[in-house]
Amino acid sequence: MREKGYNPINQLVGYLLSGDPAYVTSHKEARSKIRSLERDELLDELVSFYLEHEK
């Protein structure tokens, strides 16, 4: 995503909050890849990782 000048955090947050894959660029099939994951499972993994690595 950064390769094309996009902010990956903004794109992922937009997608996770709205469920609209249009927030994610189609560059290198990023949109297709993100749609292959369940949003709730992705959020679960992100929160779990954050809590495990919180200082």
Read off the pLDDT of residues 7-48 as tens digits, 9 standing for 90 and up: 999 999 999 999 999 999 999 999 999 999 999 999 999 999
Closest to 13 measured CA to CA, from 29, 3, 4, 1 = 1
What integer pLDDT is reported at residue 1 of this predicted model?
67
Positive or negative torsion for Cα 5, 1, 41, 16: positive
pLDDT higher than threshold 80 for residue 2: no
- The total number of structural domains in the chain stands at 1
Q: What is the DSSP letter of 26?
A: -
Where residue 6 falls among pLDDT bands split at 50, 70, 90? Answer: confident
Q: Which residue range(s) make up the domain with 36?
A: 2-53
